[in-house]
Structures are given as C-alpha cells and as structure tokens.
Amino acid sequence: MKTAVITTGGLGTREATITKTIPKTMLPLYTKSNYDSDPLLKPLIEIIFDNLYENGFRKFCIIINSSYKQTIKNHLTNDESFINILKKRDHYHDKRFLKTLSKLYKRIDNCKIVWVNQKTPMGFGHALLSAKEFVGNNNFLLHAGDTYFPNYEFIPEFIKSFKRDRQVSCNLLLESKKLLDGYGIAQIKKRNGQNVVFDVEEKPKKPKSNLAILPVYAFKPIIFDALKKTNHGYNSELQVTDAIKTMIDCNEKIVAMRIKQKWFDIGTPQRYLDALNYSFKIQH
C-alpha cells in the first residue's frame, strides 16, 4: 500500500485562538533527533508524514481548509532559499536544522503530494470524499491529521491483515476504553481468526461495546460509493463511521485490529498538553 489520505480541514475551535491561523496538525510535538541527544520540535503533520513514509507510503493526499492552506503547504514544500540561508551560517544548531530539513525535503521530493481544498468543514466523511479522484482505484490508508501516535509499529501488521483476505473492504483500528464519549463504536465477533465487524455507530449515547474506533483506517476505494449513499448523521455532518455502516449493510466485509499502545487526539487544550508532555518524556 502506497497511498495515504490525511485530513486536516477542521477549524479547531476548541483550541482557539491559536487555531485561527495555525491548524491543529501544525501544533508542535517532541521527536528524537537523528543527529544528537537533544529532542526536536516538529509539527504533527510532519511526524505523521515521516512515519507513513518510513512505512512505505509515497502518494499523499492532504485535505486542507482554505484558511490554513498556505501554512501546511509551505511547511511540506521544499524551500531552497531557506536551505541556502542555513548553509551560509556556521552555528551548531543551524547545521542540525539543515540536516533535519534536508532529510525532510528529500522525502518530499520522493513523493507525490496532492493538496485538496475543503472550503467548508462538513465532517470527516465529507473530507474523505474530496480525495476520491486522487485515490482512484487504489487501496489506501486514511489518517486523521489531529491524531498523534508516539510510534507506528502497528502499521505493518495493520496493512498485512487488510491484504490477507481479498474479501476485506476495510480494516479498523480499535481500542478497548472505559470512557467512550466522542468515539465511534464497533461490535466484533471472532471468525476464522479474524475480528469481523458486524456493526458500528458514530458517537452513540448508549454504546453497545467498549471498542472505540481510532482515526486510522485501511480502505478499498468502495468506501467512496458508500459515502455517496450515506445520509448526514452526527452533528448534521457526513461521517466515515456511518459510511462503514453502509458498507456492512451492503455485505462488505469489515475487519478490525485491536491495539493497546499510547495515542493521543490533540483536539482539546488538555489532550494536546498530555500529548506534548508525553512526547517530551519519551525522548529522555
């Protein structure tokens, strides 16, 4: 699998007012440096890009809001003039910065990145639907741009379990949680060694299981047909979970992989602080 769709079109109103000009996916988190023991600060979108690149992805569709278009695009665009400025300076941190940026730009140059503008945020599903032309007939990974995984060790097995069965149209990532408010919920049953999903529901008031759907998915392009058949749901928006329900109702096979590792949705000030503190802690 080489194709990834990253959604970054939300307005981030719960983290105002910084998110008026800076999207959530550009908020910084700590990462390890390849050149010394001091941690680096990178925006979340770069962390996501780096990790997907290291797992073999080379085609990226990034869904952006018109308010944030240049902020994100400028960061993930090769800036030779800035590289030249760093080359002329002789400070240690400039050289460190130069090495880090040069590595990022080499990766960017080795990829196809398409930017799709979502003029008005109308839900996770609406953002995904705007990537239909880019995805074409390819299987792909969908990754929310406000989700931080400290490591991506789950990705190879996640993709492998998706490819293992040709009948599978979608692979979900699930976590058992006590607090389920704000999550899509899945119900599964074990069949022939697979976690087969037989029902999903977006942010239910009375969840029927404790399995929360995390915002990373593997899809066949049939998801786009399902999105077109799906009515707007929670918050009067088009939801990916509802489209998955449409797929289940159309007898598409949906499976799931359960994980226990740390991850963070950085969509509120407290959750962003938790992610920032954790990202710093694991660098030492």
Segment 1-20, tens digit of pLDDT: 999 999 987 766 777 887 77
Chain center to CA of 120: 19
SS3 for the chain is CCEEEEEECCCCHHHCCHHHCCCHHHCEEEECCCCCCCCEEEEHHHHHHHHHHHCCCCEEEEEEECCCHHHHHHHCCCCHHHHHHHHHCCCHHHHHHHHHHHHHHHHHHCCEEEEEEECCCCCHHHHHHCCHHHHCCCCEEEEECCEECCCCCCHHHHHHHHHCCCCEEEEEEEEECCCCCCCEEEEEEEECCEEEEEEEEECCCCCCCCEEEEEEEEECCHHHHHHHHCCCCHHHCCCHHHHHHHHHHCCCEEEEEECCCCCEECCCHHHHHHHHHHHHHCCC
Q: What pLDDT, on the 0 to 100 scale, is given for residue 224?
A: 97
Q: What percent of the chain has pLDDT over 90?
A: 73
Task: Pinpoint the residues of the chain covered by CATH 3.90.550.10.
Answer: 3-118+266-281, 167-260
Q: 169 pLDDT exceeds 90? A: yes
Name the residue with higher pLDDT: 141 or 68: 141
> How many residues are listed for the chain in this entry?
284
103: left (phi over 0), alpha (psi -120 to 50) or beta: alpha
| CATH ID of 167-260, from 3.90.550.10, 3.40.50.720, 3.40.50.880, 1.20.1630.10 | 3.90.550.10
Using DSSP bridges, classify how beta strands 40-43 and 28-31 pair: parallel, antiparallel or unpaired. Answer: antiparallel
Q: What pLDDT, on the 0 to 100 scale, is given for residue 122?
A: 75
> What pLDDT digit, counting tens, does each position of 101-125 carry?
999 999 999 999 999 987 766 778 9
Point out which residues pair with 10 in neighbouring strands: none
Distances (CA, A) of 157 to 1, 201, 218, 259: 12, 25, 12, 11
C-alpha–C-alpha distance, residues 114 and 123, integer Å: 20
3-118+266-281: CATH topology: Spore Coat Polysaccharide Biosynthesis Protein SpsA; Chain A (3.90.550)
Q: What pLDDT, on the 0 to 100 scale, is given for residue 91?
A: 85
C-alpha–C-alpha distance, residues 199 and 161, integer Å: 19
> What pLDDT digit, counting tens, does each position of 37-91 carry?
889 999 999 999 999 999 999 999 999 887 766 888 999 999 999 999 999 988 8
Q: What pLDDT, on the 0 to 100 scale, is given for residue 70?
A: 81
Q: What pLDDT, on the 0 to 100 scale, is given for residue 235?
A: 76
